[in-house]
Amino acid sequence: DPQSGEQLLMDLGIDPDSSKAFPLRSILSLARDVACGLAYLHRLQPAIVHRDLKPANVLIDRHGTAKISDFGLARAKHHSYVKTARPEAGTLVYMAPECFDPSKGRLTDKA
């Protein structure tokens, strides 16, 4: 069950109104959860490429585990590349730099 950011902070014992930074251990745990989720998606046959990973598309359950969400732009990767997203697809500030070069026409695993 996803929670609001404020509720999550309270559950972790952090006052949402304080100026305390989010604990590094929690940040690293969430980053690990997202990385494991992406690794799982990329190991599937065919692999799934999310194409719009950003903080708003990461939900946190009541146990503090991050879950990747919003697969509306996701694509199955049937080849060694994925066609580039249309300029209006995805969130520009989170896109791989390769997405901005229309002459490439495709994205590799490195994107």
- Residue 42 sits in a domain whose CATH number is 1.10.510.10
Query: Is 36 a member of any domain?
Result: yes
Give me the pLDDT at residue 56, please.
87
Is 110 a member of any domain? Answer: no
Q: In terms of pTM, does the model score above 0.85?
A: no
111, part of any domain: no
Total structural domains within the chain: 1
Q: How far apart are CA 33 and CA 10, in angstroms?
A: 20
What domain range includes position 66?
5-78
pLDDT at 22: 73
What integer pLDDT is reported at residue 72 of this predicted model?
Answer: 84
State the distance between the two ends of the chain, measured CA to CA, in whole angstroms: 31
pLDDT of residue 21: 67
Give me the active site residues, please: 52
Rounded to whole angstroms, how far apart are CA atoms 101 and 107?
Answer: 10
Buried b (16+ CB within 10 A) or exposed e, 63-94: eeebebeeeebeeebeeeebebbeeeebeeee
| Res 101: pLDDT | 61
Place of tokens 């949402």: 16
What pLDDT does residue 38 have? 92
Tens place of pLDDT for every residue, the chain, 111 residues? 555 666 666 776 667 676 666 788 888 999 999 999 999 999 999 888 888 888 889 998 888 899 999 988 888 877 655 555 455 467 777 776 666 665 655 555 555
Q: Is residue 86 part of a domain?
A: no
